[in-house]
């Protein structure tokens, strides 16, 4: 798996758009198959918004990774686990 720093915000937005469109029919929340817009057909302002959102998500993930703020609410911190049944 690539590190967060190696992921392009534009590539992430493009993949997200692809899967969002592909899954929209399964969740009946999007256009029909004849109305699905490819990334190339997506308006430029929508592309820019998606890329900006992807960039912010990557920055937040990198900051959390760097600060050790990984949300592990179901796992005890080292040395804090209660063992036994």
pLDDT at position 19 is: 86
How many Å apart are CA 16 and CA 50, to the nearest integer?
9
How many Å apart are CA 25 and CA 20, to the nearest integer?
9
CA distances from 34 to 30, 40, 81 (A): 11, 16, 53
**Which of residues 45 and 37 earns the better pLDDT score?**
45
pLDDT at position 82 is: 60
Q: What is the pLDDT of residues 19-35, one digit of tens each?
A: 888 887 777 655 555 55
How many Å apart are CA 79 and CA 29, to the nearest integer?
46
At 64, list the tokens.
């959390």
Q: What is the pLDDT of residues 44-85, one digit of tens each?
A: 998 999 999 998 888 888 887 777 655 556 556 666 656 554
Residues 6+ apart with CB under 8 A from 32: 25
Hey, where are the domains in the chain? 7-67
- Specify the pTM: 0.60
């Amino acid at each position: 798996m690539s590190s967060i720093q190696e992921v392009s915000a534009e590539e992430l937005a493009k993949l997200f758009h692809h899967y969002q469109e592909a899954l929209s029919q399964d969740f009946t929340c999007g256009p029909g198959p004849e109305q699905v817009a490819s990334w190339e057909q997506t308006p430029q302002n929508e592309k820019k918004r998606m890329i900006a959102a992807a960039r912010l998500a990557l920055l937040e993930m990198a900051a959390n990774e760097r600060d050790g703020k990984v949300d592990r609410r179901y796992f005890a911190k080292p040395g804090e686990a209660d063992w036994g049944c």
